[in-house]
Amino acid sequence: MGRLQNKIALVTGAAQGLGKAIANEFAKEGAKVVLIDINEEGLFKVGKEIHEHGGEVLPMKLDVTNEEQWKVVINNILEKYGQLDVVVNNAGVGTHGNIETTTYESWKRVLNINLDSVFLGTKYGAEAMMKKGNGGSIINISSTEGIVGNPDLLAYSASKGGVKLMTKSAALHLAKKNTNIRVNTIHPGYINTELMKLVPNQDEVSSLVPQGIIADPSVIGQAAVYLASDESTYTTGSELVVDGGLTAQ
């Protein structure tokens, strides 16, 4: 019996990277996983891979910044499964730029994708969970950049810091309403995703991490499994930092 048996889990940004890793770990633990992404081709590729390994998935295309599309997707999930137990708001983008070089257009785009979409996923995910009345778990993917500053990731850092505090606010509200819905953040450090492969000086990056490694995406999937499972029933409004000791320095 898997740790997420009989749970219905939605994962955004599931076509690659951390979203793909989280979806894989969820499926291994018995969850039925709704794969969400704007990249339809990548979405179905990941869905096929998980299905071939015995997992149950439902790929659904969604622009995570579109409120009306969120409403449609949530309604479709409730119609098909009758419940929604876990939401992982993972979709995001990163853009280099400091306070001098960041344009307003770039700022708005990063905040829209990284923060507004997490607001929508948290709002409508919680609403769906309250309809069923069995509680649930909302997991918002922030970053170590949401804990400490970075001079060259102005908009990204602002968006991820916003995710952290929005999550705490939502967690407090839902706890005080006795909804049994938990809301937490995961803060990944340097993870070996497609984006990290574009970094030329990987040895230099590894040297910044006390454990000395750039981690496999599965470590974030495993962290998400804990927060999605019934093992974390007393954990809400918390920050789960998975960074090899980077922010402990």
- Catalytic residue selected from 104, 156, 190, 226: 156
- In three-state form (DSSP H/G/I as H, E/B as E, the rest C), the secondary structure along the chain is CCCCCCCEEEEECCCCHHHHHHHHHHHHCCCEEEEEECCHHHHHHHHHHHHHCCCEEEEEECCCCCHHHHHHHHHHHHHHHCCCCEEEECCCCCCCECCCCCCHHHHHHHHHHHHHHHHHHHHHHHHHHHHHCCCEEEEEECCHHHCCCCCCEHHHHHHHHHHHHHHHHHHHHHHHCCCCEEEEEEEECCECCCCHHHCCCHHHHHHHCCCCCCECCHHHHHHHHHHHCHHHCCCCCCEEEECCCHHHC
Which residues touch 140 (CB under 8 Å, ≥6 apart)?
A: 88, 89, 118, 121, 122, 163, 166, 167, 183, 184, 185, 186
**Does residue 156 have an active-site annotation?**
yes
Sheet strands side by side (includes 86-89): 56-61, 32-37, 8-12, 86-89, 136-141, 181-188, 239-242
User: Which residues have a catalytic role annotated?
Assistant: 156
